[in-house]
Amino acid sequence: MRGKRAVVLGGAGFVGSHLCERLLDDGAESVIAVDNLITGNEQNVRTLKPRAGFQYVKQDIIDGLEVDGPVDYVLNLASPASPIDYANLPLETLRVGSIGTENALKLAEKKKAVFLMASTSEVYGDPLVHPQKEDYWGNVNPIGPRSVYDEAKRYSEAISAAYERSRGVEVRIVRIFNTYGPRMRLNDGRVVPAFVGQALKNEDFSVFGDGSQTRSFCYVKDLVDGLVRLVLSDVRGPVNIGNPREMTIKQFAEAVRDAAGGGRQIVYHPLPKDDPKQRQPDITRARTLLGWEPKVLLEDGLKETIAYFREVAGRPSGT
Ligand code: NAD
Ligand code: UDP
């Protein structure tokens, strides 16, 4: 990454801010974080602002993208990502995935930059194949409540592949599985901040359904390492990045209770519509093509995440 220039779309979000930090740590000459803060927070890049080569630009990528000078990498992470966020922002999610992604691809084409599309395990929908390999085409309800996100990401992949085929843009597609860590929003509704928040306030754990649905949780630093390896590689076609350690949501509540030393009992709530029953990445492609695999144990990653949420809870509001 030494001497390279990157534009990170969605750079003030949870994953985007960690990616900006890693690029700077790896010696990037310039990292421009573009974000409209629709679900992100400028606070996430507060410690990056004084660093040489870092710039934050508040902008909606739906309105077009202009960047001065050469760019080596356009990394597109801009999109609401939690089920509550995309349910509240359905049209914004569809537009950023479609118009926003095309604007990002046009920038990559103009700058002759490598383009990274941050796609998602949600392209597999409620998967009928388990674990999920990249050659599985998925089981998505095109009009259900999750479709604004799933179909936007499927379209993002399709238009990225089309720019690669017809315009010669160098495209990398990553399918990110559930990722957690510091800088998640406490109220974003995802299961990690929900359970950690409940543990810290010594409240009941809100398990949706009977808690038998599964997820596989990857620590954000592991994910970011996979993203960097992918953009530096010449790997074509989608690559799953996630942690294959799968567990039920009920087991996950117990893991959070153990790590935080708090929280009361599990209370069951209705399962949201179309909630995937199982999810686990097959990471053979990442292992063999990128030499990547996750390193951080859930127990250790949860400790870091809990410490972050404790610190945020202690900050004066609005900071
Ligand atoms: P996030 O909400 O914290 O980050 C997304 C960022 O994109 C936010 O800062 C938001 O303000 C910004 N954004 C949204 N629309 C924009 C627009 N029109 N113009 C400019 N900026 C815009 O979510 P995250 O968890 O950091 O997710 C980052 C990316 O990774 C997303 O594309 C998401 O789909 C993908 N992803 C994340 C996970 C995960 O578990 N965190 C899993 C699969 C995929
Ligand atoms: N979930 C839960 N309680 C919560 C939030 C989520 O039981 O307070 C469940 C949710 O129904 C899903 C899983 O946890 O089965 C993961 O949800 P999340 O929103 O984090 O991500 P998803 O993988 O569904 O996009």
The model's confidence at residue 313, banded by pLDDT at 50, 70 and 90, is confident
From 17, 39, 180, the mutation candidate for ligand 1 (largest count of ligand atoms within 8 A of CB) is: 39
58 backbone dihedrals φ, ψ, rounded to 5°: -85, 110
**Residues 13-62 pLDDT 10s:** 999 999 999 999 999 999 999 999 999 999 999 999 999 999 999 999 99
Sign of the torsion angle spanned by Cα atoms 223, 225, 229, 232: positive
What CATH code is carried by the domain that includes residue 168? 3.40.50.720
- Does some domain include residue 24? yes
- Does some domain include residue 256? no
- Rounded CA gap, 71 and 222, in Å? 25
**Residues 239-259 pLDDT 10s:** 999 999 999 999 999 999 999
Q: What is the model's pLDDT at position 263?
A: 81
Among residues 278, 243, 267, 125, the alpha carbon closest in space to that of 195 is found at 267
Among residues 132, 127, 123, 226, the alpha carbon closest in space to that of 172 is found at 226
Q: Range of 92's domain?
A: 5-181+218-243+280-294
- Does some domain include residue 129? yes
The residues assigned a catalytic role are: 149
Q: What is the model's pLDDT at position 262?
A: 86
161 backbone dihedrals φ, ψ, rounded to 5°: -65, -35
Q: Is the pLDDT of residue 318 over 60?
A: no
- Rounded CA gap, 125 and 139, in Å? 5
Q: Match 């499927």 to its residue by tokens.
A: 154
Q: Is the pLDDT of residue 316 over 90?
A: no
- Does some domain include residue 255? no
- Does some domain include residue 118? yes
- Rounded CA gap, 145 and 156, in Å? 18
- Does some domain include residue 113? yes
Spacing, Cα 3 to ligand 2 middle (Å): 40
- Rounded CA gap, 271 and 250, in Å? 13
199 backbone dihedrals φ, ψ, rounded to 5°: -65, -45
Spacing, Cα 292 to ligand 1 middle (Å): 22
Structure token pair of residue 287: 């292992």
- Does some domain include residue 156? yes
Residue type at 253? A
- Does some domain include residue 268? no
Angle at 95 (CA atoms; ends 275, 143), nearest 5 degrees = 35
**Residues 225-234 pLDDT 10s:** 999 999 999 9
* Interface ipTM: 0.99
Q: How many domains does the chain contain in total?
A: 1
From 7, 58, 107, 176, the mutation candidate for ligand 1 (largest count of ligand atoms within 8 A of CB) is: 176
Structure token pair of residue 217: 């949780």
